[in-house]
Amino acid sequence: MSKYSMHLLVCGGTSCHSSESDAIVCNLRDELEAKGLMDSVQVIMTGCFGFCEKGPIVKVMPDNTIYVQVKPEDAQTIVEEHVIKGRKVTRLLYKDPVTQESISDSKHMGFFKKQLRIVLRNCGFINPENIDEYIARDGYQALGKVLTEMTPEQVIKEVKDSGQRGRGGAGFSTGLKWELARKNQSEEKYVVCNADEGDPGAFMDRSVLEGDPHSVLEAMAICGYSIGASNGLIYIRAEYPLAIERLKIAIKQAREYGLLGNNIFGTGFNFDIKLRYGAGAFVCGEETALIHSMEGLRGEPTVKPPFPAESGYNGKPTNVNNVETFAAIPAIILKGAKWFSSIGTDRSKGTKVFALAGKINNVGLIEVPMGTTLREVIFEIGGGIRNGKKFKGIQTGGPSGGCLSEKHLDTPIDFDNLIAAGSIMGSGAMIVLDEDDCMVSMAKFFLEFTVEESCGKCAPCRIGNKRLHELLGQICEGKGKLEDLDRLRNMSVVIKDTALCGLGQTSPNPVLSMMDNYYDEYVAHVTDKKCPAGQCKSLMEYVVNPENCVGCTACARVCPVNAISGERKEVHFIDPSICIKCGACMEKCKFDAIFIR
Amino acid sequence: MSKITSLADLNKKREELKSGPGLRTNAIDPENVVQVKVAMATCGIASGAKTIMEFFLEQLERRNVAAVVTQTGCMGYCYAEPTIEVKLPGQDPVVFGFVDLKRADQIIEKYIKTGELVDGIIPVNYQTIDLKE
């Protein structure tokens, strides 16, 4: 048998997949076949590399070369040049945005330099559809260690000592949660994995499940052993078809090897995992709502206590953890609590995965130690703001979080610092805003989301958020009054205090934090009736600058509502009462004669 | 697929499978493993570099040496093909010429495993520039 001397890793995450990465795999294989190289070069489809901005990615090992934005037709060049002749294809290398230099070794890219990958250790490295690759990378060793060498109490202590806090958003101690579930006696208990990732801009959990599904399965079994459960359920939204597919394959393979099922490792421990599909409701990320949804009831939260650890799925003690929380567990068991707790800050240990989105150069998936500053994340890993614009703010924690401004850039990211700054860690979505984003419209956008996703059970959330949204809408339209700002604030505080579940308790966060950090912008909207960012259409006026206008009539011809009048070769006039502010005239004008007032 | 019924089974399986992604695992940190570069230009291949590369790939793994084996272009020692460059962690690279299977075996057993030099070393006869500096 001849040995593989080279591996071509092709990203098979959802985003690269939709940019035809499967066609790249096919073409590479065809090309290798044609050249008789199938025996020495292996093509592997992996999970997300994280560098989604420049996908699809092809990585060549062992020389660590990363090719970006690869098209299926590039397969021939890669095989003929790199594989056969050993020459790098410069055209496909990543170019440093500052120096314009091509970087071939991925280790020298700013994007990867600052990252520490624990949860994403196997993402973009192994083939997620092949359990053998996971085993070769020490997969299921942690489960083996736990079952043969440790008592459940020892496992819980290890997880507690590691200082890991739940990655779903609330930041509750994972070990403590397990301990509570263990203490409640019952014949039947459940381990639930919360894969109902719903905030706009978040794709951390999806990427983990797509890139390394076995790490979650292994951790669930470890959890089952610790709390005394033999049933695992993964609640995943049906909108994640690729993640579901890979989970199904992973579960099947683990069962075939006997790593799920009865008498695992001959120790008498039984554990199996089933999938439960959600319909994609944001509120079902809340653990009680999630459990009701799994039971076939409406996805509505209920008051805690009783906590799921006492009475959860089917009334049995249930432990719910997030995907990312689980994915770190095998590493904690194998490398120890001491190692894990040496990473991060005082009260937030380990690393956190973030999904970078918005007006940032390197949109993608990153994992950094807790305590990394926002500045490092945005400007070093994220490559700064798009099109050279100015940084304005960053929304962390999705619609439940807050918007942090320039003065927070040097804040080390951890659970407590983000709360102190007026936001939350949340599940890890980061949406970067630039100078063109209006903070009133942004708050309105997030409120729109929570209004839509509110289950309607409690009044503060159902009615309060709706009113908040209406008020913000009025302010955007120039119908707001100064006292409306106080009403916004008061109402937000009341909703936070009185709503039933996490959704309502956090939904006013964007409004509050944006009013704190960008109060002048809110005032400008209500008193000057102006939108400083130029986003709120009702507050804008398109005006002709008579000095530049040559009377070419181009604007009048393109106006869809005939709001522009004026004779040929004379200065034109835009009637603000007819103008719908579509901006078509400004785009058309070659003389920069139309501007926004 | 046979069942894994004990931790020993899993360990056995892991050892069997290690070579799968092994090439990638070693490549994460090439500075800490043995790096072997085989000159694979036309002259190299014509003199049998392909066989040598396969030999290294197979034997290093069989003899449990963590290594990254890559191909490279012409090193300029066409008279001495096949040529290979071996870099042990923390040391300067050494180039060996006229590498046949027998010498390749010596290189692994003596130089790579014990650091003892063997015949066929080509002294460095040029300096190169680093574009980054």
State the ipTM, two decimals. Answer: 0.77
Give the tokens for residue A546.
């008579």
> What's the CA gap between A28 and A176, in Å, rounded?
49
> What's the CA gap between A295 and A472, in Å, rounded?
37
Whether A268 contacts chain B with CB within 8 A = no
Q: Do B24 and A86 touch (CB under 8 A)?
A: no
> For residue A243, what pLDDT is reported?
93
Residue B133 pLDDT > 60, yes or no? no
> For residue B89, what pLDDT is reported?
87
Alpha carbon A149 to chain centroid, angstroms: 36
Q: Which among B4, B61, B73 has CB closest to A257?
A: B4
Distance from CA of B41 to the nearest CA of A (A): 8
CATH for A131-341?
A: 3.40.50.11540
Whether A126 contacts chain B with CB within 8 A = yes
> What's the CA gap between A189 and A310, in Å, rounded?
10
Q: Which residues of A342-356 are buried (b: 16+ CB within 10 A; e: fewer)?
A: ebbbeebbbbbbbbb
Whether A112 contacts chain B with CB within 8 A = no
Of A232, A188, A187, A231, nearest to A213 by C-alpha is A232
CATH for A541-596?
A: 3.30.70.20
> What's the CA gap between B2 and A431, in Å, rounded?
47
Task: Give B 44-73 residues with CB within 8 A of chain A.
Answer: 53-54, 57-58, 61, 68-73
Give the tokens for residue B109.
């057993």
> What's the CA gap between A149 and A188, in Å, rounded?
24
Q: Do A61 and B27 touch (CB under 8 A)?
A: yes
Q: Do B27 and A85 touch (CB under 8 A)?
A: no
> For residue A541, what pLDDT is reported?
86
Q: Which positions in chain A touch B58 (Cβ < 8 Å)?
A: 3
> For residue A194, what pLDDT is reported?
95
Q: Which positions in chain B touch A126 (Cβ < 8 Å)?
A: 21
Q: Which positions in chain A touch B4 (Cβ < 8 Å)?
A: 140, 257-259, 265
**Higher pLDDT pick, A525 / A14:** A525
Q: CATH no. for residue B38? A: 3.40.30.10
**Higher pLDDT pick, A351 / B71:** A351
> For residue B26, what pLDDT is reported?
74
State which residue of chain A sits closest to B26, comparing Cα positions.
Answer: A62
In-domain check, residue B11:
no
Phi, psi angle pair for B69, to nearest 5°:
-110, 120
- Region A300-307: mean pLDDT is 90
**Mutate which: A61, A129, A147, A249, vs B, most B CBs within 10 A:** A61
Residue with token string 């939350």? A424
The 10s digit of each residue's pLDDT in A157-194 is 999 999 999 988 778 999 999 999 999 999 999 999 99
Q: Do B27 and A63 touch (CB under 8 A)?
A: yes
The CATH T-level fold of domain A6-108 is Glutaredoxin (3.40.30)
Burial of B45 (0-12, 13-18, 19+ CB in 10 A): middle
Whether B27 contacts chain A with CB within 8 A = yes
Of A578, A491, A531, A132, nearest to B19 by C-alpha is A132
When the candidates are 1.10.150.120, 3.10.20.600, 2.160.10.10, 3.40.50.880, the CATH number that belongs to A351-434 is 3.10.20.600
Question: What type of residue sits at position A552?
Answer: C
Of A425, A506, A513, nearest to A204 by C-alpha is A425
Decide: A175 and A301 in contact? Cβ < 8 Å.
no
Q: Which positions in chain A touch B68 (Cβ < 8 Å)?
A: 62
In-domain check, residue B85:
yes
Q: Which residues of B94-104 are buried (b: 16+ CB within 10 A; e: fewer)?
A: bbbbebeeebb
> For residue B132, what pLDDT is reported?
53
Helix, strand, coil content of chain B in percent (nearest 5): 45, 15, 40
> What's the CA gap between A97 and A360, in Å, rounded?
12
Residue A1 pLDDT > 50, yes or no? no
- Region B92-96: mean pLDDT is 88
> What's the CA gap between A325 and A160, in Å, rounded?
13
Q: Do A257 and B21 touch (CB under 8 A)?
A: no
Kindly calculate the radius of gyration of chain A based on its CA atoms and give it in whole angstroms.
27
- For A529, residues 6+ apart whose C-beta sits below 8 A from its C-beta are A478, A539
Phi, psi angle pair for B88, to nearest 5°:
-85, 155
Q: Which positions in chain B touch A258 (Cβ < 8 Å)?
A: 3-5
State which residue of chain A sits closest to B14, comparing Cα positions.
Answer: A136
Q: Would you kindly state where each structural domain of chain A is located, as residue ranges?
A: 6-108, 131-341, 351-434, 439-528, 541-596
Helix, strand, coil content of chain A in percent (nearest 5): 45, 20, 40
Supply the range of the domain harboring residue B46.
Answer: 30-122
Q: What is the DSSP string of B59-102?
A: HHHHTT--EEEEEE---S-GGG-S-EEEE-TTS--EEE-S--HH
Planar angle of CA B81, B86, B92, nearest 5 degrees: 120
Give the tokens for residue A325.
């929380």
Of A554, A597, A563, nearest to A582 by C-alpha is A563
> What's the CA gap between B81 and B35, in Å, rounded?
19
> What's the CA gap between A508 and A469, in Å, rounded?
10
In-domain check, residue B67:
yes
The total domain count for chain B is 1
State which residue of chain A sits closest to B9, comparing Cα positions.
Answer: A265
Distance from CA of B27 to the nearest CA of A (A): 5
- From residue A405, how far is each of A241, A395, A435, A524, A530 by CA, in Å? 36, 9, 11, 18, 21
Note if the bond before B82 is cis, omega within 30 degrees. Answer: yes
Residue A549 pLDDT > 50, yes or no? yes
How much is the mean pLDDT over chain A?
91
> For residue B14, what pLDDT is reported?
87
Distance from CA of B129 to the nearest CA of A (A): 17
Decide: A283 and A453 in contact? Cβ < 8 Å.
yes
In-domain check, residue B38:
yes
Residue with token string 């025996």? A39
Distance from CA of A221 to the nearest CA of B (A): 15
Residue A525 pLDDT > 50, yes or no? yes
Return the DSSP state at B107.
I
When the candidates are 1.20.1440.230, 3.90.105.10, 3.30.710.10, 3.30.310.50, the CATH number that belongs to A439-528 is 1.20.1440.230
In-domain check, residue B102:
yes
Residue A461 pLDDT > 90, yes or no? yes
Q: Which among A136, A138, A140 has CB closest to B20?
A: A136
The 10s digit of each residue's pLDDT in A53-109 is 888 999 988 888 889 999 999 999 999 888 887 778 888 988 877 777 777 777 777
